[in-house]
Amino acid sequence: RLAMSTVKVNALQVTPRPFYIADCRGRVAATGNKLQGKGAENVSNYTATELYFCDILNIHTMRESQSALAAMLMPDADYSVSESMPPTAAAGDPSYLSAMEKTGWLRHVSLVLSASIWCAKKMTFEGASVLVHCSDGWDRTAQVCATSQMLMDPYYRTIEGFAVVIEKEWLTFGHKFQQRVAHGDPDFNNQERSPIFIQWLECVWNLTEQLPAAFEFDERLLMFLADHLYSCLFGNFIGNTDRDRWTELKVREKTTSVWSYVLHYSERFTNPMYETIGEPLWPKCAIRDLKLWERYYLRHNPDAHPSRYSGKVWVDDYGDSDVRGSFDDGESLERKSSVLSSPGSPRGLGVLEEEEAAEALGAAEDEGDGE
């Protein structure tokens, strides 16, 4: 139907490029929102337009799903190393896989990746424009848009580019970090809490597991960001909007940017297998092809750690390096300045102006590590 749609331009019949709307909600949820007076498109009002629903569920479902996952992953109290341990104890809970399925967590990750791949393919192979939205535009929309860009553009698969896409699609577009993470909120039943950003990091982690050579960074950077989403050691993830951070909380003056640390210690996060792959990535997104992010969920369970013969070691970086106070040296400042694009650049980090880099890099020592 899209290919047959034509419009008249200067007395000529022109076939426009297709325009797709990716509604991250399910059809039922969108209909319910519409009955409440909220927005939903009527594609008959537009030319060469198709509307698709991505069936990604809301923040409340994600919170409940992760809570069920965390409860399921608690260490088995019946399993202990002792002489009286029966021979079947090490086999664990026989219902583990069915319990994992009941949480729905990998299904949710699969749907985010599926929607992202769909958007990327429409833009890559059809040259189409894709409008992405959900109920509000700062949760599921951020997940899908950020992932789609990483699939299409190799720049966003570099350490610098990854910082840019987070600043652009998550921070600048208004993901409500303060409410979703609930910094300083004693109400653990707050219904605005939801692990949306952690879920997206897990989506990216699955991409790096499937296509490791395509990413300049590895799991260590994802773990670092997951930890400092909650630590408040850096100011990037405090507040709900840029206005909150820059005007009210003044994180530029009071905290250090997480990217200052990441770029200074970039060798800690660099993937030794990295290759510059200029073409788009098309990962698998079926549940059978996805993995649970064990490094994140199971690191506090000693029994879950990899064997010393596996070649893997789980070491946490909490941003408290013994040389943390020295990342205002000349070499670091030069690198920091080089990655900050000029004002107005669509790929600029947008975290700090170039002339402010020195102040930010010394903020941890001069002003404290964060709020």
pLDDT digits (tens, 9 = 90+) for 286-314: 999 999 999 999 988 888 888 888 888 88
**Of residues 342 and 285, which shows the higher confidence score?**
285
Contact indicator for 257, 352 with CB cutoff of 8 Å? yes
Rounded to 5 degrees, what are φ and ψ at 88?
-90, -5
Tokens of residue 293, six digits: 């992010």
Q: Is the pLDDT of residue 352 over 90?
A: no
**Of residues 178 and 36, which shows the higher confidence score?**
178
The H or E element containing residue 297 is: helix 294-297
Q: Is the pLDDT of residue 348 over 70?
A: no
Q: Is the pLDDT of residue 142 over 60?
A: yes
Nearest CA among 156, 148, 157, 155 for reference residue 122? 148
Q: Is the pLDDT of residue 83 over 90?
A: no
The H or E element containing residue 12 is: strand 12-14
Nearest CA among 371, 256, 367 for reference residue 321? 256
Nearest CA among 72, 33, 75 for reference residue 53? 33
The pTM assigned to this predicted structure is 0.82
What pLDDT does 320 receive?
64
Distance CA 183, CA 190 (A): 11
Task: Say which residue the tokens 């709307």 belong to.
Answer: 21
**Of residues 306 and 271, which shows the higher confidence score?**
271
Contact indicator for 191, 60 with CB cutoff of 8 Å? yes
Helix, strand, coil abundance in the chain, percent, nearest 5: 50, 5, 45
- In the structure, what pLDDT confidence band is assigned to residue 360 with cuts at 50, 70 and 90? very low
Strand order from edge to edge, sheet including 129-133: 49-53, 19-23, 129-133
Tokens of residue 11, six digits: 């007395």
Q: Which residues of 118-149 are buried (b: 16+ CB within 10 A; e: fewer)?
A: bbbbbbeeeebebebbbbeebbbbbbbbbbbb
Distance CA 236, CA 268 (A): 20
Q: Is the pLDDT of residue 84 over 50?
A: yes
What pLDDT does 95 receive?
86
Radius of gyration of the chain (CA): 23
Q: Is the pLDDT of residue 365 over 60?
A: no
Contact indicator for 141, 32 with CB cutoff of 8 Å? no
Contact indicator for 333, 358 with CB cutoff of 8 Å? yes
Alpha helices in 127-255 (DSSP H): 140-152, 159-166, 177, 196-210, 219-231, 242-243, 251-254
What's the distance, Cα to Cα, between the start and end of the chain in Å?
Answer: 55
Selecting among 119, 134, 203, 285, the annotated active-site residue is 134
What pLDDT does 321 receive?
57
134 has catalytic annotation = yes
Write down how long the chain is: 371
Nearest CA among 35, 1, 30 for reference residue 18? 1
Alpha helices in 73-195 (DSSP H): 96-103, 105-126, 140-152, 159-166, 177
**Of residues 175 and 95, which shows the higher confidence score?**
175
